[in-house]
Structure 1
Amino acid sequence: MNLRRRHHLLAAAATVGALSFGLPGHAQTTATPVKAVASFSILGDLVRQVGGERVQVDVLVGPGADAHVFQPSPSHAKQVAQAQVVFANGLGFEGWMQRLLKTAGYKGRPVVVSQGIQPIQTEEDEHDHKAEKHGHHDHGEADPHAWQSVSNVITYVAHIAKGLCAADAAGCDTYRKNAAAYTGQLQALDTEIRAAWAAIPAAQRKLITSHDAFGYYAQSYGVQFLAPQGVSTNSEASAKGVAQLVRQIKQERIKALFVESISDPRLIEQIGRETGVKPAGALFSDSLSDASGPASTYVALMRANTQTMTRAVLGH
């Protein structure tokens, strides 16, 4: 009798021990992680920050790849079919998403993380609009690169926490805590970026990039970006637009010229040759770097870009 009772107590203790692993702060060894899919690498990082160990995140458009021209494969459809929750940027960024969800037979609705953000309307010329419409997708009028402003990413994080809570009610407290801690980091990052630009006179804050991906950064941090391509890497730069840009660089003596990690560098190199301005390195616009690179997380990406830009503008 006593022996049997002892066995019961030991079994109960083992159960309690196993359950405690599911609590925040413990490695999760008992529960199966929530399967989440994020459309591209930057969003994947944000979902990992909020999800922590409870969530397994698959990214469709990985580091160094371009979501503007992405073509989903059957293996991507399989990932989406198995997902409990799918996260998308929205604002027309993933022109391929609806088709992919349909192909995968995904029953839920994707969590659109940019919901509620005031989009920047793009001012593209006729040439760019034609190129957009003949490309893989049309951005419409909204600039989709909302993550280039840290305050927008704070909104993304709130939507991610909500989406994970809906998929996994048991983990909701963990997601809220992670989101709150990460939001604190993002607020500090925002302050850091503002301080970096505050040291530079407004008239000097002018840069040239490959495609128009930094509108939200420009708006938030008081920087002017000029680009030969429109908001999609799929649009083509017109000869007239490039010639105009070359004149402007010379007239305004703009010193900061950049290629983006996802873009063909030839156009920027051509502008560099015609203006005598040497490209000042690469910026990360729509994608993280790989794990060993300078932009392996969203926070690292914003920090690396800001450092590269401010140094170039100051002529360092």
Structure 2
Amino acid sequence: MTFLKPVFTGLASASFAVAALPGAAFAHDLKIVASFSILGDMVEEVVGDMAEVTTIVGPDADAHVYQPSVADARAVAEADIIFVNGLGFETWSDTLIAESGTKAPVHIATEGITPVEVEGEVDPHAWNSLLNGVTYVQNIAVVLSEAMPDHADEITANADAYIAELKALDAETRTKLAGLPADKRTVVTAHDAFGYLADSYNMTFLAPIGIDTEAEPSAKDMATLIDQLKAQGAGALFVENITSPALVQQISDETGIKIGGRLFSDALSERGGPATSYLAMFKHNLGSLLSALGAKADS
């Protein structure tokens, strides 16, 4: 894992505090920090109103290239518990945590998940399998139950209810995607963020950019991908909420494959958007895939 030294440049627009509303009352004074919006939502679902949750990388923001701010360092310094994704996703987190001087324990939410490799690299986007999402929630619940033993029963109840929703959506996803014909199972996105979705639901995802959105595809790589798509086709192209649509538009222009919409890969949407929670994100992505690939969403 490569860790980049962050530049603290004041309160970045992508940072935000979740549930830190004026006058908000929490059943416990525990301060929890989560590294990015999807993980922060999972933590909130488990802890409910029993603690304050602050998320570092907010909605529609790219955690791959994020530069932590002074406000982020302060939040980490004051935290009692820190959750990170791990698997090399937050390249900035070790430096941020070390320089903040925090005494909080750091918990890796992907503990116990078997990594998937894409083009020889570990794919950190493990949440793109709903059953992996169940593991995230179980890990979070264990940590919070130990940290707040007086609320362990409530935390367990919240986690159990949430896991039941995730498992139900996983079963629905499998049923709906199982109906796709072989020639509709290849999808192109902006970067390699959907390896776990592909692995879990028998799909193929291609991308001009690898795991890290900071990389730039070479002209040769783009030409190879475009030639492959001209020869073999693909079900649909998708832009992502955290990346520029330019590369996907170029692929569409050169292959004639239509852009099927926007997928949420590494971050939730802003308030009012279609993906303001992990469950909503997955439902939106599933619906977008089914619509673009010619399957009925209610099949």
Residue aligning to 1:23 = none
Tell me, yes or no, if structure 1 residue 206 matches structure 2 residue 174.
Answer: no
Matched, 1:58 2:54: yes
Q: How far apart, in 1, do the equivalents of 2:150 and 2:295 lie? A: 52
Equivalent position SS for 1:142 = strand
Aligned 8 A contact 2:62 2:266 in 1: yes
Query: Are 1:68 and 1:233, in contact at CA under 8 Å, matched by a contact in 2?
Result: yes
Q: Distance in 1 between matches of 2:148 and 2:279?
A: 26
Note the 1:136-285 alignment, pairs <5 A.
141-285=121-265
- Counterpart amino acid of residue 200 in structure 1: L
- TM value normalised by structure 2: 0.88
Alignment map for 1:5-16 (pairs within 5 Å):
none
2:292 is matched with 312
Q: CA deviation at 1:201?
A: 1.5
Show the counterpart of 1:110.
106
The 2-side partners of 1:96 and 1:190 are apart by 31
Q: What CA distance in whole angstroms lies between the structure 1 residues aligned with 2:155 and 2:280?
A: 22
SS state at 1:153 partner: helix
Provide the rounded CA distance (Å) in 1 between the counterparts of 2:130 and 2:240. Answer: 19
Q: Which residue of the other structure, out of 23, 38, 51, is the alignment partner of 2:34? A: 38
- TM-score w.r.t. the length of structure 1 is 0.83
Further displaced range: 194-203 or 282-291: 194-203
Mean Cα displacement is larger for which, 182-191 or 98-107? 98-107
- SS of the residue 2:52 aligns to: strand
How many Å separate the matches in 2 of 1:103 and 1:115?
24
Rate the CA distance shift 1:99–1:30 in 2: closer, same or farther, 3 A.
Answer: closer
CA contact (8 A) 1:210 1:268 kept: yes
Q: CA 1:233 to 1:35, structure 2 compared with 1: closer, same or farther past 3 Å?
A: same
Q: Point out where structure 2 has 5 or more consecutive residues left out of the alignment.
A: 1-23
Task: Name 1:301's counterpart in structure 2.
Answer: 281
Identity %: 47
Are the counterparts in 2 of residues 202 and 223 from structure 1 also a CA contact under 8 Å? no
SS of the equivalent of 2:275 reads coil
Please list the CA deviations of residues 33-76 of structure 1 after superposition, one character each: whole Å capped at 9, or x if unmatched.
42111100000100000000102111100001000001111100
Deviation at 1:96, TM superposition (A): 0.8
Q: Contact 2:27–2:49 at 8 Å: present in 1 too? A: no
Residues 201-226 of structure 1, C-alpha deviation per residue, up to 9 Å, x if partnerless? 23321110000000000000011111
Q: What is the one-letter code of the residue matched to 1:42?
A: I
Pairs aligned (count): 273
SS of 1:121 mapped into structure 2: strand
Show CA shifts across 1:15-49 (max 9, x none).
xxxxxxxxxxxxx9584442111100000100000
Q: 2:183–2:234: 8 Å Cα contact kept in structure 1?
A: no
Distance 1:154 1:192 in 2: 15
The answer to whether the 8 Å contact 2:40/2:55 transfers is yes
Distance across 2 between alignment mates of 1:171 and 1:215: 36
- SS of corresponding position for 1:36: strand
1:101 aligns with 2:97: yes
Gaps of 5+ in 1: 1-27, 125-140
Give RMSD over aligned pairs.
Answer: 1.6
- Name the structure where strand makes up a greater proportion of residues: 2
Secondary structure at 2:31 match in 1: strand
